[in-house]
Amino acid sequence: MMSAPPRLELITSGAELLNGAVLNRHAQWLGREAAGLGWELHRDTTVPDDPAALREAMFSALARVEVLVVSGGLGPTSDDVTRDVAADWAGVGVVMHEPTRAVVHAAYAARNKPLNDLVERHALVVDGAEVWPNTYGLAPGEHLTRDGRHLFLLPGPPREFQGVARDFLLPWLAARHPAGPVRRQDFSVIGWGESDLAARLNADGLAGLAVEVAYCAAPARVLVRLAERSGGGEDFDRAVALVRGALGGAVYAEADEPVEVTVVRALEARGVTLALAESCTGGLIGARLTELAGVSRVLRGGVVCYHNELKVGLLGVPEAVLAAHGAVSEPVARAMAEGARRVGGADLGLAVTGVAGPDGGTAEKPVGLVYVACADGRGTVVRELRLGGPRSLIRESAASMALDLVRRQLVGG
Amino acid sequence: MMSAPPRLELITSGAELLNGAVLNRHAQWLGREAAGLGWELHRDTTVPDDPAALREAMFSALARVEVLVVSGGLGPTSDDVTRDVAADWAGVGVVMHEPTRAVVHAAYAARNKPLNDLVERHALVVDGAEVWPNTYGLAPGEHLTRDGRHLFLLPGPPREFQGVARDFLLPWLAARHPAGPVRRQDFSVIGWGESDLAARLNADGLAGLAVEVAYCAAPARVLVRLAERSGGGEDFDRAVALVRGALGGAVYAEADEPVEVTVVRALEARGVTLALAESCTGGLIGARLTELAGVSRVLRGGVVCYHNELKVGLLGVPEAVLAAHGAVSEPVARAMAEGARRVGGADLGLAVTGVAGPDGGTAEKPVGLVYVACADGRGTVVRELRLGGPRSLIRESAASMALDLVRRQLVGG
């Protein structure tokens, strides 16, 4: 039997999170931290600074789950209403917390700033709350309990939210329900669509195993995440073996990482250097690789040969080959990869040429036709791709598939 | 008197949004777009792919507001449960939508991919729904109506969510409750931090005007959005003039657009071509430019000269200059820009060299030191930048500031 993980919910208040001004990152952060402790963030709700909306959201959440975390609305202005709603839920009042008031006074004195009329309101707390010092700002965190439910109030600014949560909330969660030994296994898969992948794994028997399966799709990539169910250890082992067997070389990493991370690790392990020739991707492969610090050990650089004259002048692609086959062709991709390797002084040359769209496609060479090529001095592998989607997706997919060609060159598959 | 804006709510389903794997950006995007149409996003809720949780969230939202948008859960796998819950709300069943099934078949045929058992499930819709074609992916959008409430189902991937919303939902919202004659003005500002910018505009008197002001920060860029208040027409005109006067040439566009869009428009208007030499940005400028369809009319291409040997060999940067000044220096940036212009056969050469970090900084050349240079044949402008933040932010900022140098070269400022 599987026991479900303990659940918590998060509510964040703030008009700026609902009118587009600010991106709300609290749920991603708390969800990841909670998952790491064996908890499940089961709902994330954002409401405006409106007592009625906040009250409805808080009371209904506290009827569903054991733990509710509320972020924001603890400041000194009139739109900071969280503590009043929380006091209402607890059936008590709001009081001045003298230790916090002393901290507020000291903070202002240290900065030679005069106290204004509002600032002491940071030290108001719900009567009877356990008060958690906030060393990152002024408003403290609070812990309230009623009828076996736990309500946590945390400050809204991300640095303060995360700081107080790290200091007090996460240790509380870890102590409340110590996590069992649940195993997880990620597979980063390239070249499969999400539904094709799920269909294949289910046909191979994954759907019949007692294991949690989640899919998460990105351009040219699907993350498959397996998690053990309590008591389902054998099925988990079977599921891991099943995914490995079904997908083979399409799994570029048994971890959650973009393909460029895998490729750079493989290049570094072998002391192999790389140079690029990018046409339709226009620099995207270089941009993704150089996002990784330390990549200069393996990446020499490359040429963005968007115009054909640069293919000829900088990479030495023969004009006759361009004229005979067109820029989007197997022979041009091959010549680009060999040219990149030569002019970049690298062990491997990687090239991409294709029709990214939305215009420029023909019946013979439609939008989505892409050639990727990898030259290693002994020979050159070229692969023809038919990619779907809009321009940006075709470009991201082409970059990923090109990088994967390097991985296959290095590790086989 | 101002009447309260019409309200909508958003619900997003997906375990990956609650376990930390993926950051949910839907609320920020929809909240901003809705606000621009005079609507208020009044609540944002994220639930797992769990029919009970989704049902409770959807039914309670539809009891509160006239319009509910639900994103995600329209795919083909067993954790895609949104359409079933929606059908339940509408009191009908789920049916195969033949036009969508034909599109799915055609998409697979075009890519020479066999259909799997699951993929047709993309074409399942709620019986009686108005079906909105999704030209960005497979699962269409749907519009359901009951008892004066409107339920919209949109696909979950951000590109598809935004695409279908732009094509159908936003026009529907605009038509449903036409906003009054409220004027809006966007300013895309480069090179200012958000809080410095707000402090400057407030010091100039913006805070005293009856106008709505919103700031939205991105790397090296702040969007300032002014909106007229009902009856505040004169203050709106004053505010527009005040922002123009305070910021001058730092406003690269009086619209919400990334700087590469402004730059490509300026290049096209003047029939000027561009070539690139990228070191620390590693292809990012090329990638951002080539994301724009039709850029081949003005972009020739360039060199990613990550290793110094490529600066010498491909761009003709003199070895003596590299040895005397180092790769991150004013003379090398200058020589790179001139080399890019020459080997790219372009009217303008644009170069970036810098220390992106986190390692590689010294006391003399710290992380964040970046030189951008633009050569036009008559001379070369070089600008030294001191950028802050982590590697990705320094790179994005460097790319934007380099592109802005082209804009200033073309339009002055």
- Residue B43 is nearest to which of A47, A285, A304, comparing CB atoms? A47
Tell me which chain B residue has its CA closest to the CA of residue A28: B20
Question: Are B282 and A281 in contact (CB < 8 Å)?
Answer: no
Q: Is a pLDDT exceeding 90 seen at residue A232?
A: no
Q: Which chain B residues are closer than 8 Å to A215 by Cβ?
A: 77, 79
User: What's the confidence (pLDDT) of residue B199?
Assistant: 81
Facing A198 at nearest CB: one of B118, B287, B392? B118
Q: Is the pLDDT of residue A181 over 80?
A: no
The confidence score (pLDDT) of residue B22 equals 79
Residue of B nearest to A45 (CA): B45
Determine the average pLDDT of the residues in B211-226.
Answer: 81
In this prediction, residue A23 carries a pLDDT of: 84
* Percent of all residues in chain A with a pLDDT value above 70, rounded to a whole number: 96
Flag if B75 and A194 touch (Cβ within 8 Å): yes
Nearest to residue B260, comparing CAs of A219, A295, A358, A283?
Answer: A283
**Residues in B touching A214 (Cβ below 8 Å):** 15-16, 79
Query: Over the stretch A286-303, which tens digit does the pLDDT of each residue have?
Result: 999 999 999 999 999 999
Cβ burial of A117 (10 Å; 0-12, 13-18, 19+) is exposed
Average pLDDT taken over every residue of chain A: 92
CB contact under 8 A, A53 and B41: no
CA of B121: which chain A residue's CA is closest? A195
What average pLDDT score do residues A158-179 get? 92
Smallest Cβ distance to A216: which of B21, B24, B113? B21
pLDDT of residue A231: 78
Which burial class, exposed, middle or buried, applies to B93 when counting CB atoms under 10 A from its CB (0-12, 13-18, 19+)? exposed
* pLDDT confidence of residue B288: 97
HEC letters along A29-74: HHHHHHHHCCCEEEEEEEECCCHHHHHHHHHHHHHHCCEEEEECCC
* A116, amino acid identity: N
Task: Tell me whether residues A388 and B107 touch, CB distance under 8 A.
Answer: yes
pLDDT at B1: 31
For chain B, give the percent of residues with pLDDT over 90: 71
CB contact under 8 A, B287 and A281: yes
Res A1 pLDDT > 50: no
Q: What is the pLDDT of residue A135?
A: 87
Residues of A whose CB is below 8 A from B283 = 276, 278, 282-287, 289-290, 302, 304
- Give how far B311 is from chain A: nearest CA, Å: 9
Tokens (6 digits) for A196: 């094709």
pLDDT tens digits, A189-198: 999 988 889 8
Which candidate from B27, B111, B291 shows the least CB-CB separation from A24? B27
Cβ–Cβ below 8 Å for B306 and A293: no
User: What pLDDT was estimated at residue B181?
Assistant: 56
pLDDT band at A404 (very low <50, low <70, confident <90, very high): very high
Instruction: Pull the structure tokens for residue A207.
Output: 């759907």
pLDDT at site A78: 66
Q: Residue B12 pLDDT more than 90? A: yes
Q: Model confidence at B75, in pLDDT bands (50, 70, 90)?
A: confident
pLDDT in tens, A39-91: 999 999 999 988 999 999 999 999 999 999 999 988 877 668 999 999 999 99
Contacts of A368 in chain B (CB under 8 A): 110-111
Comparing CB atoms, the residue among B32, B136, B157 nearest residue A19 is: B32
At residue A371's C-alpha, the angle toward residues A306 and A256, to 5°, is: 100
Q: What is the mean pLDDT of residues B55-63?
A: 96
For chain B, how many residues are written?
413
Average pLDDT for B244-258: 94
**pTM of the predicted protein model:** 0.78
CA-nearest residue of chain B to A217?
B157
Mutate which of B37, B104, B118 to test chain A, going by most A C-beta atoms within 10 A? B118
| Residues 6+ positions from B160 with CB-CB distance below 8 Å | B134, B136, B137, B139, B154
Q: What per-residue confidence (pLDDT) applies to B219?
A: 77
Where do we find the tokens 């990214």? A356
pLDDT at position B413 = 56
| Position B218 pLDDT exceeds 80 | no
Query: Are A304 and B79 a contacting pair at CB < 8 A?
Result: no
Residue contact B122–A195, C-beta within 8 A: yes
Q: How confident is the model at residue B31 (pLDDT cuts 50, 70, 90)?
A: very high
- pLDDT tens, residue by residue, A196-230: 898 899 999 998 999 888 777 778 888 898 988 77
Q: What crossing angle do the helices spanning B233-247 and B194-203 adopt, rounded to 10°?
A: 120
Question: Which residue in A has a C-alpha nearest to residue B284's C-alpha?
Answer: A287
Report pLDDT for B78: 74
pLDDT in tens, A310-332: 999 999 999 999 999 999 999 99
Contact B304 A286 (CB under 8 A): yes
CB burial of A239-267 (b: ≥16 within 10 Å; e: otherwise) equals bbebbeebbeebbbbeeeebbbbbbbbbb
Residue B108 has a pLDDT of: 83
Q: Residue A302: its chain B contacts at CB < 8 A? A: 283, 303-304
- pLDDT at position A241 is 97
Lowest mean pLDDT among A63-67, A202-206, A264-268, B223-227: B223-227
> What span, in angstroms and rounded, lies between the C-alpha atoms of A243 and A254?
11
- Closest Cβ–Cβ partner in A286, A289, A307 for B300: A307
Which residue out of A195, A291, A359 would a mutagenesis test of the B interface target, given it has the greatest number of B Cβ atoms within 10 Å? A195
ipTM: 0.79
Residues of chain A with Cβ-Cβ distance to B41 below 8 Å are 18-19
| Maximum average pLDDT range among A28-32, A305-309, B105-109, B222-226 | A305-309
For residue B399, pLDDT over 60 is answered with yes
pLDDT of residue A112: 65
pLDDT at B223 over 50: yes
CA distances (Å), origin A374, targets A113, A334, B92: 63, 8, 54
> Which of A35, A286, A300 is closest, CB to CB, to B19?
A35
Helix (H, G, I), strand (E, B) or coil at B70: strand
Contact B28 A22 (CB under 8 A): yes
Q: What is the pLDDT of residue A114?
A: 67
Nearest partner of A83 among A64, A65, A98, A96, judged by Cα: A96
Using 50, 70 and 90 to split pLDDT, how confident is the model at B3? Answer: low
Residue B2 has pLDDT above 60, yes or no: no
Interface test with A, best of B18, B24, B40, B394 (most A CBs within 10 A): B18
Out of B21, B53, B358, name the one closest to residue A43 (CB). B53
Is the pLDDT confidence value at A111 over 70?
A: no
Give the integer Cα–Cα distance in Å for B126 and B131: 9
Q: Which pLDDT value is given to residue A2?
A: 41
Pair B4, B38: CB distance under 8 Å: no
Q: How far is B130 from chain A (nearest CA, A)?
A: 24
Chain B CB contacts of A314 under 8 Å are 301, 303, 314, 343
Nearest to A386 among B111, B118, B215 (CB): B111
User: Rounded distance, CA B398 to CA A287, Å?
Assistant: 13
Which pLDDT score is estimated for A249? 93
C-beta atoms of B19 and A27 within 8 A: no
- Per-residue pLDDT reduced to its tens digit, B315-368: 999 999 999 999 999 999 999 999 999 999 999 999 999 999 999 999 999 999
* Residue A287, pLDDT score: 98
pLDDT at A413 over 70: no
Q: Which residues on chain A are in Cβ contact (under 8 Å) with B351?
A: none
User: Lowest mean pLDDT: which of A57-66, A223-232, B25-34, B251-260?
Assistant: A223-232
Nearest-Cα residue of chain B relative to residue A46: B44
- What integer is the mean pLDDT of B358-381? 95
| Nearest CA distance, A218 vs chain B (angstrom) | 9
Q: Determine the pLDDT at residue B119.
A: 84
Average pLDDT of the residues in A237-245: 97
CA neighbor of B314 nearest in space, from B351, B289, B284, B347 = B351
Instruction: State how far the Cα of B50 lies from the Cα of A140, in Å rounded to an integer.
Output: 34
Question: Looking at beta carbons, which residues of chain B come within 8 Å of A286?
Answer: 278, 282-284, 286-287, 304, 306
Reading the block at residue B60, the tokens are 């309670």
Cα torsion angle, A321, A322, A324, A329, sign: positive
Nearest to A304 among B136, B286, B358 (CB): B286
* Residue % of chain B over a pLDDT of 70: 98
Residues A192 and A220: their CA atoms lie apart, in Å, by 7
pLDDT digits (tens, 9 = 90+) for B145-191: 999 999 999 999 888 999 999 999 999 999 998 876 578 899 999 98
Q: Which residues of A touch B80 (CB under 8 A)?
A: none
CB contact under 8 Å between A392 and B301, yes or no, is no
- Across chain B, mean pLDDT equals 92
Measured CA to CA, the distance from residue B229 to residue B86 in angstroms comes to 38
Q: Say whether B296 and A307 touch across the interface (CB within 8 A).
A: yes
